[in-house]
Amino acid sequence: MNDDLVLRTSDLTKVYGTFTALDGLSISLERGRILGFIGPNGAGKTTTIKILVGLVKATRGEASICGAACGKDTARIKRLVGYMPDVFGSYDNMRVFEYLDFFGAAFGIPRRDRKRRIDECLELTGAARMKDLFVESLSHGMKQRVALTRTLLHEPQMLILDEPANGLDPQARVEMRQVLLELARRGTSLIVTSHILPELARICDTVAIITGGKLRAFGTLDQIMRSVRHSRVIEVVLADRTGVGLAARVLARELGDDVAISQSEASAELRFPTDRDDAGLAALLGRLLEAGVRVAQFREIPMDLEDAFLSVTGQSGVKPTDAPASPSAVRDPKLGVVGAGA
């Protein structure tokens, strides 16, 4: 058993009548890691999160956070987890400081520490200037910051954030990303769901892709990319549009008729998938040049999390593949993994 694991789920299943919302989910997460939990609408993400925070009871299987059993050891879970749902939960007529004071008091933070704690958290989330504003007058982005502050008040060991970047402007997104990375640096583990996949790719070192209640892929970004990538995608940009037809004919001859070559005369581009190695690609480039095609660029299109997600969920036409990666294999430094979405 790895003592550094803060989250462990085993065969977690939730059935509503005849509908299986979650089917045998087994994942784990180490301390200080950020898990990106992605999937289409109705995939089972929120069900999983609600089981973890004790709002929903699992039909089968087990889940624990820092050794506390989810759904059984509710009192401990509440202290260990900071949960930020996708709705704010506003109370009218309250100022931000009063709103946070209420949650601080509800979590039993002693009065002598509470003000300091609220100020620290407001500072961390960049919401310090909002503390005298009325909660109902805040913009969506401001509410997200206040919600995150509220979640951090009782110093949870794990944060579960449902769509934290939703509705944020680009600047706020960057700031939110920095806050989450800082929290991970301080040793807090995070589970983050988001539909903005490039955003997730920038912060997550582990990704779980879930569809139809089943885990389709789980591991580091690299592991998932490798597992879903069957071929490289090459893009050829020509110096002028007149050569597109000729280039397409040369590529079809060299690659075979069964390879789908997409071409755009407007932008003088061609794209195709291939299994060739670097030497094979160099030879292919040579054939194009020999045929008189004026090539401006010849490059591999990097795969990002969005491509991986579409590939895994089967929406890109590529056969879905399960990534068998074990969580314990995740050893890469956080920021070292990021880059696919860049």
Partner 1 sequence: MIPIIARELTAMLRSWRAVALQIGFLAFLGLLVILRWPSEGRVDLGGVASRQVFRIFGYGLLIGLVLVSPAFPATSIVRERLQGTLALLLNSPIRPVSLVLGKLVGSIGFVLVLIVLSFPAAAACFAMGGIGLTDQLGGLYLVLVLLAIEYAALGLLVSSIVRSTDAALRLTYAFILILAVGAMVPNVLLKDVSWAGPEVIGIARVVNSLSPFPAVMHVLGDTGVLGGNTSEQEVMRFSIGAVLVTLLCVAVTTFRLSSRPMDRARDAGRMTDDRSARSRFMRRIMYLWFFDPQRRSGLIAPWQNPVMMKEQRCRPMGRANWMMRLIGTYFVLSLLLVLGATTLSQSQGVAGVFSAIAVMQVGLIVLLAPSLASGLISAERESKGWQLLQMTPLSPASIVTGKLLSAFVPLALVMLATLPAYIALLALDPAQLRTAVSIQVTLVIFAVMAVFLSAGIGSLFRQAAVATAVAYSLIAAVCIGTLFIWLGRDAPFTPLFVERVLTSSPLATTLSIIGTPGFSEYRLTPANWYVMAAMTVGSGAVMLLQVARLGRAR
In the complex with partner 1, the residue whose CB is nearer, 136 or 300, is 136
Segment 23-42, which members bind partner 1 (CB under 8 A)?
none
The residue to which tokens 């993400």 are assigned: 45
Ramachandran assignment for 206, one of left (phi > 0), alpha (psi -120 to 50 degrees), beta (any other): beta
Q: Counting contacts by CB under 8 A, is residue 108 touching partner 1?
A: yes
> What is the torsion angle, in degrees rounded to the nearest 10, for the CA atoms of residue 285, residue 286, residue 290 and residue 295?
30
According to DSSP, the residues that pair with 158 across neighbouring strands are 81, 189
The one among 15, 69, 133, 259 contacting partner 1 by CB under 8 A: 133
Q: Please, what is the angle between helix 278-290 and helix 244-255, to 10°?
A: 140
Stretches 50-58, 225-233, 240-248, 323-331: which one binds partner 1 (CB under 8 A)? 50-58
Q: Least distance to partner 1 from the beta carbon of 136, Å? A: 7
In the complex with partner 1, the residue whose CB is nearer, 95 or 276, is 95
Q: Least distance to partner 1 from the beta carbon of 161, Å? A: 13
Q: Least distance to partner 1 from the beta carbon of 33, Å? A: 22
Q: Counting contacts by CB under 8 A, is residue 53 touching partner 1?
A: yes
The one among 20, 62, 103, 271 contacting partner 1 by CB under 8 A: 103
Ramachandran assignment for 44, one of left (phi > 0), alpha (psi -120 to 50 degrees), beta (any other): left
Cα gap 307→317, rounded to integer Å: 11
Cα gap 99→92, rounded to integer Å: 10
The one among 8, 33, 45, 150 contacting partner 1 by CB under 8 A: 150
Give the 3-state secondary structure percentages of the chain, helix then strand then coil, rounded to 5: 40, 25, 35
Token pair belonging to 116: 């300091």
Q: Counting contacts by CB under 8 A, is residue 111 touching partner 1?
A: yes
The one among 2, 60, 74, 302 contacting partner 1 by CB under 8 A: 74
Cα gap 197→341, rounded to integer Å: 8
Q: How many CB atoms lie within 10 A of CB 48?
A: 29
Q: How many CB atoms lie within 10 A of CB 43?
A: 23
Q: Counting contacts by CB under 8 A, is residue 19 touching partner 1?
A: no
Q: Counting contacts by CB under 8 A, is residue 60 touching partner 1?
A: no
Segment 255-294, which members bind partner 1 (CB under 8 A)?
none
Q: Counting contacts by CB under 8 A, is residue 94 touching partner 1?
A: yes
In the complex with partner 1, the residue whose CB is nearer, 53 or 228, is 53
In the complex with partner 1, the residue whose CB is nearer, 68 or 225, is 68
Q: Counting contacts by CB under 8 A, is residue 66 touching partner 1?
A: no
Q: Least distance to partner 1 from the beta carbon of 31, Å? A: 21
- Do 193 and 4 contact (CB within 8 A), yes or no? no
Binding residues for partner 1, rule: CB under 8 A, are 51, 53-57, 71, 74-75, 78-79, 81, 83, 85, 87-95, 97-98, 101-108, 110-111, 114-115, 132-134, 136-137, 150
